[in-house]
Chains A and B, each alone.
Chain A
Amino acid sequence: MAACKFTRTRTSLLTINKSDLPVTCKLKNPPAGVTIAAAEFFDSAGDCTDLSVNGQSFVIPNTVATGAGDLEVRIQGGTFPIPAIDVVEDCDNSQYILTIADPNSKLGRTDVVVQQ
């Protein structure tokens, strides 16, 4: 397993070096039938990048702009109400990214900083 690329400079502020992109994130222990429906990254200019989704993982590409960003993940499937599902980086210690806990929106977001 690769080393983690994300770090947390302070609570809840995820940081990653642009040179470390692309990075793969995944659902941690998802219930049966739960997959990622869509994932998007909004940069500080408001530009949106559709992230490549493959079942229970997605990739943040190296084309996203540096600066503050908003990572949004929407899941689908499973039985209601879904339990809280963590999104983690696909690395050896499973760096925590965000939690999807709302059974109606099935959506989670977090602030991300992409450093030059």
Chain B
Amino acid sequence: MGFLLNETCLGQTLPTPIDYCNNLAAEAIDHPDPDHLHSLLIDIVNSPSCLFQVSLSNREANNAISPARVSLWNAYQSFSSEQQQGSSLSSSGSTNAVSKPSGPTSLVEEFGGANVTRGTSSSTVQWSPGTMLTNLALNGVNYLCLENKKGKDPSNCISPRLLRDLTPLTFKVTANTTSGTPSLTGTATSTGSTGPSQQVTGNSKGTSGPSFAGLTVQYSLPFASRNVSAVKSLTAHASSGSSNGQNGSASQPALEYYKKEILGAHKMELALGTCTAYQNWKEKTEPLFNAKLGTITKTITNPNDKSQAAQAALALQSDVENQYRTLLNDMTNDASCQSAFYSAKGFYAAILEAETYEYFVATESSSAKPDVAFEYDLQTPQDKPSYSTVKATGTWQFGGKAPTQQNLNDFANIQISRLAKTKASTAVSAKELSQASKPLAQDTTRPFSLTLNGTVDIYNSEPPSSVPSASHLRDIRTGAEFDWVVSPFGKGSVFANFLGSLTAAAAYSYEDQTSPALLTGPALSDFTGLPSSTTAAYAKRGVIHLGQIRFGFGTGKNLTYPLAFTYSNRTELITHPTWGLQFGITYNFTSMFNSGEASNTGSK
């Protein structure tokens, strides 16, 4: 599958994309001696970008060298205490009392409903693309699409700028899945009244029937979103040159990654030594290139005429691309070249992991910066008027420590050993890369987070005028949650491998019901004492205090199991205290974005 999305889609003028093979040919023409030609064109370790560019027209070859990426980033996200486990608060079955600004790409099934203030106990299923756009950005923007500068991207790139703008946008679709029992039972508060709106007293929580519960659309503020920072960092390759140390050498952490790149290049060179197709190609192609270069340079009669040089570069570029295409075809049909493909993939991956690392360090060093998000929820609860939720969310992560040199060395060594080992298959194991990333992520992700919510619920239609104090403004809520990610089982133990880390959370929510909660439709038949003329029932307003203790088992794993205990002084419809036990299962699909196969951006 490929992506083709660029500025033409936005009606803007398409900038001239950077053409790595043309640049390479132009350099060869500028230095038309055999030594330069060998270094620039024959030693393909020195021209990875042109080789990659040519591979875009050979799906098999591109799949063999296109690197897996974002392994560290996704591992970091999976341990982050700012990532929400389970569905958002807006769903009635959610295990969460407070919403967080981000979450994984996940499918959630939850039972119980921490949102006891809504007066229902139900199960909820929620599909949340979460960080999917970020992952698409990081996977879809290929090795050559790193620059994020107008006019500097090669063709067939997803625009990094467009992806950066889209990344903070997430949405969630939620449905109640409990099958058909009454949502609430109770009695009419007063007898003898025949009005269309009746006050009721709820007696017990019931369960909601199956229904579409709502749609959530969320956008994080670009200046604060870690997702945006990730895309910005990972698509702005030029920034990698900013980590200068003294005397021109790189800073120590960056140096580790530059050394990984060097080792990747060395491994590729070694593997090419046993690749028969490459050795044959070298012997045959070098004299051809020399002859061609001699012929082409003779066409440049005026060294000051740039058009002549450009024409010459185009002519040589055509030969370079044809020869590289032939080489890749030959290599894909030569079993002796499998380790060369594998090493090339490791080389490209080393370059990209260095970018990921720079993002990692940048975000870990800015603990005071919150993630801020705005959210809109369309709520369509069963037997209640629909309403809209507008929510502001902020999360701060703190505690822990920045990666130490030992962490980095361990990480680099593990990654290199996994990347560099020779395998029979040309496919890089994304699972291996991801596993190798987890120790560093687990050691250095900030373990504490504080999340604040401010929420306003608004009825989508005017409530009946016969309901006292009813208005469009349904309620106002604030909430806070403190999270702590801990590894109680240590590392490497059976329990740790199975259960992962643990997120312990304590939350409090305050809700002021500015309008009485309303019930409509078939649910009214579950209340005794209501006259047949009743079209809406309402409960006595009040302030709702809700507290929750939650444990998120499986933090850092693909499967997480939030378990929560929630207490409330009342619900919207029941005026006495209530408590609930909630349990959820979340499957994190983010791991599928670690696949190297997903990083192809399409064919030319």
Q: CB-nearest residue of chain B relative to A79?
A: B238
B261 touching A53, Cβ below 8 Å: no
Contact indicator A105/B49 (Cβ below 8 Å): yes
User: Does B248 lie within 8 Å of A99, measured CB to CB?
Assistant: no
User: Which of B45, B49, B242 lies in contact with A104, CB distance below 8 A?
Assistant: B49
Q: Does A4 contact B (CB under 8 A)?
A: no
Asked if A63 is at the interface of the complex by the 8 Å CB criterion, the answer is: no
Please name all residues of chain A whose beta carbon is closer than 8 Å to the beta carbon of B47 when the two chains form the complex: 101-102
Q: Which residues on the A side are within 8 Å of B351 (C-beta)?
A: 104-105
Report the separation of the CA atoms of residues A98 and B258 in the bound assembly, to the nearest whole angstrom: 18
Q: Is B161 close to A, CB under 8 A?
A: no
Chain B 15-38 interface mask (CB, 8 Å, partner A; 1/0): 000101001100100110011101
Nearest B residue (CB) for A40: B262
A110 to nearest B CB, angstroms?
A: 6
- List residues of chain B with CB within 8 A of the CB of A100: 46
A81 touches B152 (CB 8 A): yes
> B238 contacts which chain A residues (CB < 8 A)?
79-80
Expressed in whole angstroms, the Cα–Cα distance for A63 and B241 within the complex equals 30
Q: Indicate the member of A40, A48, A77, A80 with the most B CB atoms within 10 Å.
A: A80
A13-54 interface mask toward B, CB cutoff 8 Å, 1 = contact, 0 = none?
Answer: 000000000000000000001011110101000101000011
User: Does A66 belong to the interface (CB within 8 Å)?
Assistant: no
- B511 interface residue (CB < 8 Å to A): no
Interface members, chain A 36-93 (any B CB < 8 Å):
36-38, 40, 42, 46, 48, 53-56, 70, 72, 74, 76-81, 83-84, 86
Q: From residue A81, how far is it (CB to closest CB) to chain B in Å?
A: 7
Q: Is the CB of A70 within 8 A of B269?
A: yes
Q: Which of B227-243 contact A (CB under 8 A)?
A: 237-238, 240-243
Number of A residues with CB within 8 Å of any CB on chain B: 42
Contact B244 A38 (CB under 8 A): no
Complex Cα spacing A76 to B255, Å: 11
Closest chain B residue to A50 by CB distance?
Answer: B259
What's the least CB distance linking B240 to chain A, in Å? 7
Q: Tell me how far the C-beta of A85 lies from the nearest C-beta in chain B, rounded to whole angstroms.
A: 10
User: Which candidate, B140-148, B165-173, B502-510, is the interface stretch facing chain A?
Assistant: B140-148
B431 at the interface (CB under 8 A from A): no
In the assembled complex, which residues on chain B have CB atoms less than 8 Å from the CB atom of A105?
48-49, 261, 265, 347, 351
Complex CA–CA separation, A19 to B42 (angstroms): 30
Residues of B within 8 A of A8 (CB): 35
Min CB distance B423 to A, Å, is 18
B259 touches A76 (CB 8 A): no
Could you tell me if A74 and B262 are in contact, using CB atoms closer than 8 angstroms? yes
A36–B46 touching, CB < 8 Å: no
With contact pairs A11-B34, A11-B38, A77-B241 given, residues A37 and B258 touching in the complex (Cβ less than 8 Å): yes
**Known pairs A105-B49, A105-B261, A109-B46; A12 contacts B244 (CB<8 A):** no
User: Nearest residue in B to A82 (C-beta to C-beta)?
Assistant: B241
Q: Please determine whether A33 and B262 come into contact, CB atoms closer than 8 angstroms.
A: no
A76-B240, A81-B152, A104-B144 known; A99-B27 Cβ under 8 A: yes
- Are A102 and B249 interface neighbours, CB within 8 A? no
Closest to B245 in A: A37
A38 surroundings in chain B (CB, below 8 A)? 249-250, 255, 258-259, 262
Q: Please report which residues of chain B, range 328-370, place their CB below 8 angstroms from some CB of chain A when the two chains form the complex.
A: 347, 351
Cα separation A83 to B250 with both chains bound (whole Å): 20
Residue of A nearest to B23 (CB): A81
Known: A102-B47, A102-B48, A108-B46. A12 touches B265 (CB 8 A): no
Residues of B within 8 A of A11 (CB): 34-35, 38
Partner of B243, one of A48, A56, A76: A76
**A74/B258 in contact, CB under 8 A:** yes
Partner of A101, one of B24, B144, B266: B24
| Residues in chain A within 8 A of chain B (CB atoms) | 8, 11-12, 33, 35-38, 40, 42, 46, 48, 53-56, 70, 72, 74, 76-81, 83-84, 86, 96, 98-110
Instruction: Identify the B interface with A (CB < 8 A).
Output: 18, 20, 23-24, 27, 30-31, 34-36, 38-40, 42-43, 45-50, 143-144, 146-147, 149, 152, 237-238, 240-244, 247-250, 254-255, 258-259, 261-263, 265-266, 269-270, 347, 351
Contacts A40-B262, A81-B152, A96-B36 aside, 16 further interface pairs with beta carbons under 8 A come to: A12-B42, A12-B43, A48-B263, A53-B247, A53-B249, A72-B265, A78-B241, A84-B27, A99-B31, A100-B46, A101-B39, A102-B20, A103-B23, A104-B146, A108-B39, A109-B43
The 5 closest A-B pairs by CB, nearest first: A35-B248, A55-B248, A12-B38, A84-B27, A37-B250
